[in-house]
Amino acid sequence: MPRPTVTSPFGPLVVIANPRSGRGRVGAELPKIERTLRDGGLDYRIVQTTHPGHATEAARDALRGSERYLVAVGGDGTVHEVVNGMLQDDQPIAEDAVLGVVAAGSGCDFVKSFNLPGDAVQAARHLAGDGVRRIDVGKVTFTAGAAEMIRYFPNIAEAGLGGAVVARASRLSGILGPARYLCGFWLTLPGFRPAVVRLDADGQAFEWRAHNVVVANCRFYGAGMQISPKSKPDDGALEVLVMVGPKSDAFTTLPKVYKGTHLPHRNIVELRASRVRVEPDLPFRIEADGETLGTTPATFEVIRKPIRLKV
């Protein structure tokens, strides 16, 4: 006898998944996720994305069609796209919308800051219930060609070496899985050129020779690196780390980053701000949540608690 179908407290689930993510692992895990939802009696529909930006479109269409419970299945890139579909002009499209996350494929750093399950089946079970937490979201305004563009990021963004690493890693073979970021790092490091970086943090002006600027809403990125251990995603501020030392610092600091024990460090400037303007004298690549965006100059801001996260 079939199980009765019920809705969650937030209504039927709109499950948004990129089946090709994680070398096709997300697609392989979808049947298990669906089985778990059915066993839990949850009403849902699935949108399998087919092109970049599709998850953003699907999220926006669902909210405009009065659906309220959006579930991102995959890694940080899928979460990034869904969140961008939930916001417009720095406001939620629907105040009562809820974001659920099922970490699948090669993993999701975003969920680590909330102690959410890293296993797809456990995460799917966790979608039941009514626990939510309002969280902040970062916003970056950057240059893309001749245009100025805006993107929201729930996790972490950076300009400089990190942006170049993500761009390089995206061109590496998917067979490397989560190790792509680390491989991209060591391939990019030798040829990367630092720059003189002018930075304004809430009206305070600074200038350093630096090779990377990290702007963090949450704590983890790069497949498990706890780059910003002080970040709290609901405190109305962004943690800013400016790497001002020699690139060779990477050989000693990188192993510590996984445990979050790299701070304090004599060559890492720590700031906390709600708005940060970054202007290097050489264009720095920008990435957000592992997605390559554009180049500096760029402005990073915090949007206070526009997202309700299922916890």
135-194: pLDDT as tens digits: 999 999 999 988 899 999 999 999 999 999 999 988 787 667 677 778 888 899 989 999
pLDDT by residue for the chain (311 residues), tens digit each? 445 556 689 999 999 999 988 888 999 999 999 999 999 999 999 999 999 999 999 999 999 999 999 999 999 999 999 999 999 999 999 999 999 999 998 779 999 999 999 999 999 999 999 999 999 999 999 999 888 999 999 999 999 999 999 999 887 876 676 777 788 888 999 899 999 999 999 999 999 999 999 999 999 998 899 999 999 999 999 999 999 999 889 888 989 999 999 999 999 999 999 999 999 999 999 999 999 999 999 999 999 999 999 99
Quickly name the fold that domain 137-304 has: Tumour Suppressor Smad4 (2.60.200)
Q: Where in the chain is the domain with CATH 3.40.50.10330?
A: 13-130
CATH class of the 13-130 domain in this structure: alpha beta
Delimit the CATH 2.60.200.40 region(s) of the chain. 137-304
Which residues are 147's β-sheet partners?
144
